[in-house]
Amino acid sequence: MAKTNDWAGKVLALIKGGNTGAAIAQIKVAPSVKDLKALQAALAAAQLTGRWRDVDAAVADNLALLSAPRLHRSP
């Protein structure tokens, strides 16, 4: 059975703790598009979307970069 990845929860904890710099650094090295979408959904569920514009911009930018063809991170 595969392990569950709690990357989005950990980044959300950084954001809630006020450490947006570390959260943005983690967003820039996100493992996959799935994880970024999970973070985006968690931010929306916690009603934090729009509170930190730089975090929202980092999520949107990296979603676009990872979704682009032939641009992906190797494991």
Domain boundaries of the chain, sorted by first residue: 32-68
Per residue in 29-41, pLDDT tens? 988 889 999 999 9
For residue 13, the Cα-to-chain-centroid distance in whole angstroms is 11
Across all residues in the chain, what is the average pLDDT?
86
The whole-number pLDDT of residue 2 equals 47
8 A C-beta contact, residue 7 and residue 30: yes
In percent, the amount of the chain with pLDDT more than 90 equals: 59
Cβ contacts of 8 within 8 Å, gap of 6 or more: 35, 38, 39, 41, 42
pTM: 0.80
